[in-house]
Amino acid sequence: MAHSDLTKEQGRTLPKLDLKTMGPAIALILLCIIGYSLNPAFLGEGNITNLLTRSAFIGIIAVGATFVITAGGIDLSVGSMAAVLSGVMIMVMNSLIDVLGTGVATVMTGCICSLILGIGAGMVNGLLTTKAKIEAFIVTLGTMGIFRSLVTYFADGGTLSLDFSLRDTYRPVYYESFGGLPIPVWVFLGVSVAGWILLNRTAFGRYCTAIGSNEHVAQYSAIRVERIKTATYVIQGFCVSLATIIYVPRLGSASASTGVLWELEAIAAVIIGGTVLKGGYGRIGGTILGALILTTIGNILNFTDVISNYLNGTMQGLIIIVAVWLQRAGWRGRGKTAD
Amino acid sequence: MPFDGGSPVAVLAADRISKSFGSVPVLFSVGFDILPGEVHALIGENGAGKSTLMKILGGFHQPTSGRIFMDGKEVVLPPNGQAEDLGIVLLHQEFNLAEQMTVEENMFLGREKSSNGFLRRKEMREEVRGHLAEVGLNVSPTARVSDLSVAQKQMLEITRAVSRQARVLIMDEPTAVLTTAETELFFRQVRRLRDNGVAVVFVSHKLGEVKEIADRITVLRDGQWIATRPARDLTLDAMAQLMVGRELSDLYPPIAEADVDAPKILEVRNLTTPRVRDVSFDLRRGEVLGFSGLVGSGRTDVFEAICGLQQVEGGQIRFDGQPVNFRSVAKARDAGIAYLTKDRKGKGLLLEQGMLPNVTLLALPRFVRNFMLDRKAEEEALKRGIRRFDIRARDPNVRVGDMSGGNQQKLLLAKIMEINPKVVIVDEPTRGIDVGTKQQIYHFIAALAAEGMSVVVISSEMPEIIGICHRVFVMREGRIAGSLTGDDINENEIVRYAAGLKEAV
Q: For chain A, 339 residues long, give each residue's pLDDT as a single digit of tens.
A: 334 333 333 334 444 455 667 788 888 998 899 888 888 888 888 889 989 999 999 999 999 999 999 999 999 999 999 999 999 999 999 999 988 888 889 999 999 999 999 999 999 999 999 999 999 999 999 999 999 999 999 999 999 999 988 988 898 888 888 888 899 999 999 999 999 999 999 999 999 999 999 999 999 999 999 999 999 999 999 999 999 999 999 989 999 999 998 999 999 999 999 898 899 999 999 999 999 999 998 888 887 777 787 888 888 888 888 877 877 665 444 433 333
A168: in domain = yes
The residue type found at B175 is T
Here the CATH number for the domain that contains residue A231 is 1.10.3470
* Structural domains in chain A (count): 1
- pLDDT surpassing 60 at residue B113: yes
A23: in domain = no
Ramachandran region, residue B81 (left: φ > 0; alpha: ψ -120 to 50; beta: rest)? left
**Which of B 361-420 lie inside 8 A of A, CB atoms?**
361-362, 364-365, 367-368, 371-373, 375, 378-379, 382-383, 386, 396-399, 401-402, 415
Residue B212 C-beta-side C-alpha neighbours within 13 Å: 14
Q: What is the DSSP string of A49-94?
A: HHHHHHHHHHHHHHHHHHHHHHTT-----HHHHHHHHHHHHHHHHH
pLDDT score, position A303: 77
Query: CATH number for the B263-336+423-505 domain, one of 3.40.190.10, 3.40.50.300, 3.30.70.100, 3.30.230.70?
Result: 3.40.50.300
What pLDDT, in 10s, does the model give residues B47-81?
A: 788 888 998 998 888 999 999 998 888 988 888 77
B157's enclosing H/E stretch is: helix B150-163
A248's enclosing H/E stretch is: helix A225-251
10 Å CB burial of residue A2 (0-12, 13-18, 19+) is exposed
d(Cα B176, Cα B432) in Å, to the nearest integer?
6
- Candidate from B328, B382, B399 with C-beta closest to A14: B399
B242's enclosing H/E stretch is: helix B236-244
Interval B454-464 mean pLDDT:
90
ipTM here? 0.82
Give A89 to chain B, closest Cα distance, Å. 33
A46's enclosing H/E stretch is: helix A45-70
Count of all residues that appear for chain B in the document: 505
The residue type found at B105 is E
d(Cα A291, Cα B278) in Å, to the nearest integer?
59
**Which of B 48-107 lie inside 8 A of A, CB atoms?**
55, 61
Beta-carbon count within 10 A of A332 CB = 9
Higher pLDDT, B379 or B294: B379
pLDDT score, position B1: 40
Ramachandran region, residue B273 (left: φ > 0; alpha: ψ -120 to 50; beta: rest)? beta
What pLDDT, in 10s, does the model give residues B121-156?
A: 888 888 888 888 877 778 888 889 888 877 788 778
Task: Round the CA-based radius of gyration of chain B to a whole number and report it.
Answer: 24
Cβ contacts below 8 Å, chain A against chain B, sum to: 112
A138: in domain = yes
Give B427 to chain A, closest Cα distance, Å. 13
Q: A14: which chain B residues are within 8 Å (Cβ-Cβ)?
A: 353-354, 397, 399
In degrees, rounded to 5, the angle at the alpha carbon of residue B134 between the alpha carbons of residues B129 and B135 is: 100
A3: in domain = no
Beta-carbon count within 10 A of B19 CB = 22
pLDDT score, position A294: 92
User: DSSP 3-state assignment of B439?
Assistant: helix
Say how far residue A97 (Cα) sits from the centre of its chain.
32
A319: in domain = yes
Torsion from C-alpha of A210, A212, A217, A220, nearest 10 degrees: 80
Which CATH number is associated with domain B12-244?
3.40.50.300
Domain containing residue A258: 44-299+306-326
Q: Are A186 and A46 in contact (CB under 8 A)?
A: no
Intervals of CATH 3.40.50.300 along chain B: 12-244, 263-336+423-505
- Candidate from B22, B329, B386 with C-beta closest to A222: B329
A333: in domain = no
A188: in domain = yes
pLDDT score, position B187: 87
The residue type found at B188 is R
Q: Do B354 and A339 touch (CB under 8 A)?
A: no
User: DSSP 3-state assignment of B427?
Assistant: strand
Write down the mean pLDDT value for chain B: 87
